[in-house]
């Protein structure tokens, strides 16, 4: 099971529970499914009329480093609160960060081409199974509703949204097959187990463990006993790798005297090898085998894998784009006239574009129009090089403007009251000097936690696919999962009105992605297509090539570890480092009122590779800035309503 493939059980059992009206005491409590830290309903606060709060120190100067989803969300919500002295610095010449929707060959917007999601691509809304995704109690659901973003069920391996999933393991010799065979999994009902005796045993052991844990989590989530149960689960599993959890003996009954102990999956070495390679038939979990077991548990059990959505953008079902700000502009420019990626409102990139360009009711102008009024409002191609804590308690931000052009670089400094850092943590260590922040402001433990964080590699290879493949009756499965170097291959139709469909030729993580660094992009595309042909032709029940359907020359490759603005695709944590990761999420509450520095986003979260922690981290920074500046919170919210992260030292 690929991290992110459908596991709807958490949303299913949540839908079965009888709902009661929330009491004032539980107004701000989260509801299941949702992330376990914190058990707080961020949507309830952000969707209030007037936003989070009303600023009282309107002249408070705020710098936000990074115009990805985290930085854009923080800027938008601060602006809604009435903070007007905002500077947004972006190193690249585009907004959106690891939300990278490619139109044509890296945004050459070829007519008829579907968008390729080279970064994040499938979004959890944390809705129950009896709800529309936009009714989910998440910030993703809130913003998708706010911006009128169209979404559909993502065609995950083994899900009802694909015609069939092909499983090719051990050169087609699963279950001691006499001839090389691709197992075919059809799951129209959503309840059909994957085929094959060996994979069936793996599936049954995973399902028994996951459902036992989910049932208990759902029972306690949001009540007064939840934090204690979650802390017990953390204590039990935070020092255990996922590899060890898979082999750990299973238990049949939960014991209240050991509330955090749900045993393991009880797989044999051979079953573990299958789980490593192709999960329960819907993709490898191998990239996550040696990280802390809490990461895959959090992902599967708390709704990150339920009812995942493909974001089409601000478009109608016929693929026409809704009328939107700057949609028809030839170009858009930052505060000093540098050009950056114009909004198309197509695909997941539409989310970042809406955060910047769409107006909200609290302000007369959009965030973009407001920032453009200042020479220092929105600056792209600007690399921050140093943060200096000054004796007057301000922070001096030093940055290189026009940083991509060595001959035209200009060095600038500007002082701020608060600085929000949203960068991947490896970029902070390698590119930004932090000066004069003492141990009461930035402890060595905090610095060490983000310096030693583990960032995963990832490689995605997309190409256009002739519509005839998915339209006609062919033996080739819509999704192919293998233990070959290509691993996961997805084919899907973005829209009936595009000239082509999409094929994600290869989707790999960690060591499997690192292997591919040997080849240049053109050679890698060729090798992936050749390998798909080999697998299909070797399978006695297929014997058909896929290469005639693929647009070889129009393929696009994204290697996130080689992207100088990211240095990785997702921040994870190894066994025994979970509390260090949580300490980064606590930083804003514990130290930012002294340092003026705020750390937020997926880089400072324990839910790597997702958009929700970007939103939540941004809103957390806004809450703490509002508290520091004595802003008036809306909706009766107080900091006493905001739970605190629990860590063990």
Q: What is the pLDDT of residues 60-119, one digit of tens each?
A: 999 999 999 999 999 999 999 999 999 999 999 999 999 999 996 554 545 568 999 999
Q: Which residues of the chain have pLDDT under 50?
A: 1, 107, 109, 649
Cis ω on the peptide bond leading into residue 387 (within 30° of 0)? no
CA distances from 639 to 13, 52, 53, 299, 572 (A): 32, 12, 12, 28, 29
Q: Which has the closest alpha carbon to 155: 642, 595, 491?
A: 491
Enclosing H/E stretch for 599: strand 597-599
d(CA 46, CA 637): 11
| Domains of the chain, first to last | 33-99+317-455+569-641 (3.50.50.60), 165-301 (1.10.405)
Q: What is the pLDDT of residue 649?
A: 44
Q: Which helix (H) or strand (E) holds 427?
A: helix 425-431
Residues 6+ apart with CB under 8 A from 590: none
pLDDT of res. 542: 97
| Cα 68 from Cα 95, distance rounded (Å) | 6
Q: Which tens digits make up the pLDDT trace of 283-310?
A: 778 888 999 999 999 999 999 999 999 9
> What does the mean pLDDT of the chain come to?
93
Sign, CA torsion 349/586/561/124: negative
**Cα–Cα distance list, 534 to 105, 151, 480, 507, 539 (Å):** 27, 34, 13, 18, 9
pLDDT at 113: 80
pLDDT at 362: 87
**Strand ranges in 265-403 using DSSP code E only, listed in sequence order:** 309-313, 332-333, 339-340, 378-379, 382-389, 395-401
Q: Following DSSP, what letter does each residue of 412-424 receive, concatenated?
A: EEEEESEEEE-S-
What predicted TM-score, i.e. pTM, was given to this entire model?
A: 0.96
């Amino acid at each position: 099971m690929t991290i992110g493939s459908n596991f709807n059980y958490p949303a299913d059992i949540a839908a079965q529970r009888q709902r009661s009206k929330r009491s004032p005491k539980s107004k701000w409590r989260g509801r299941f499914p949702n992330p376990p830290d914190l058990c707080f309903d961020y949507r309830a606060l952000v969707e209030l009329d007037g936003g989070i709060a009303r600023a009282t120190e309107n002249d408070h100067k705020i710098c936000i480093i990074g115009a990805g989803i985290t930085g854009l969300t923080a800027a938008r919500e601060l602006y809604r609160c009435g903070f007007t002295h905002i500077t947004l610095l972006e190193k690249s010449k585009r907004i959106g960060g690891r939300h990278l929707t490619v139109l044509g060959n890296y945004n050459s917007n070829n007519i008829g081409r579907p968008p390729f999601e080279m970064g994040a691509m499938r979004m959890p809304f944390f809705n129950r199974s009896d709800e529309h995704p936009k009714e989910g109690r998440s910030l993703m659901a809130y913003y998708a509703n706010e911006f009128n973003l169209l979404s559909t069920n993502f065609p995950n391996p083994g899900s009802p949204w694909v015609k069939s999933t092909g499983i090719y393991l051990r050169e087609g010799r699963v279950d001691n097959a006499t001839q090389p065979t691709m197992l075919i999994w059809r799951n129209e009902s959503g309840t059909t187990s994957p085929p094959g005796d060996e994979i069936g045993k793996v599936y049954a052991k995973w399902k028994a463990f996951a459902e036992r844990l989910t049932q208990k989590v759902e029972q306690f989530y949001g009540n007064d006993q939840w934090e204690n149960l979650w802390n017990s689960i953390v204590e039990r599993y935070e020092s255990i790798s996922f590899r060890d959890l898979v082999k750990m003996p299973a238990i049949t009954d939960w014991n209240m005297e050991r509330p955090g102990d749900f045993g393991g999956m009880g797989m044999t070495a051979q079953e573990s090898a299958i789980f490593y390679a192709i999960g329960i038939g819907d993709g490898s979990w191998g990239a996550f085998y040696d990280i802390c077991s809490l990461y895959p548990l959090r992902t599967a059990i708390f709704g990150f894998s339920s009812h995942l959505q493909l974001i089409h953008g601000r478009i109608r079902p016929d693929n026409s784009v809704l009328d939107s700000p700057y949609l028809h502009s030839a170009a858009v420019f930052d505060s000093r006239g540098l050009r950056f990626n114009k909004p198309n409102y197509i695909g997941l990139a539409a989310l970042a574009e809406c955060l910047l360009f769409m107006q909200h009711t609290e302000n007369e102008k959009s965030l973009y129009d407001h920032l453009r009024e200042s020479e220092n409002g929105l600056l792209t191609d600007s690399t921050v090089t140093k943060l200096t804590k000054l004796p007057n308690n301000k922070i001096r931000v030093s940055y290189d403007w026009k940083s991509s052009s060595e001959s035209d670089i200009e060095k600038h400094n500007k002082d701020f009251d608060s600085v929000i850092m949203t960068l991947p943590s490896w970029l902070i260590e390698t590119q930004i000097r932090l000066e004069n922040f003492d141990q009461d402001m930035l402890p060595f433990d905090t610095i060490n936690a983000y310096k030693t964080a583990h960032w995963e590699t990832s490689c995605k290879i997309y190409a256009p696919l002739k519509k005839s493949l998915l339209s006609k009756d062919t033996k080739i499965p819509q999704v192919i999962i293998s233990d070959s170097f290509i691993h996961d291959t997805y084919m899907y139709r973005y829209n009936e009105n595009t000239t082509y469909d999409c094929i994600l030729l290869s989707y790999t993580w960690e060591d499997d992605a690192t292997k591919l660094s040997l080849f240049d992009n053109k050679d890698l595309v060729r090798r992936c297509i050749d390998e798909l042909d080999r697998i299909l032709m070797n399978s006695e029940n297929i014997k058909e090539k896929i290469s005639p359907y693929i647009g070889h020359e129009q393929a696009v490759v994204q290697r996130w570890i080689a992207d100088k603005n990211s240095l990785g695709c997702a921040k994870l944590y190894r066994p025994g480092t979970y509390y260090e990761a949580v300490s980064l999420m606590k930083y804003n509450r514990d130290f930012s009122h002294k340092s003026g520095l705020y750390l937020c986003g997926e880089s400072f979260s324990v839910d790597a590779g997702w958009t929700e922690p970007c939103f939540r981290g941004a809103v957390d920074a806004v809450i703490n800035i509002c508290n520091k500046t004595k802003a008036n919170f809306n909706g009766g919210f107080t900091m006493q309503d905001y739970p605190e992260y629990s860590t063990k030292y």
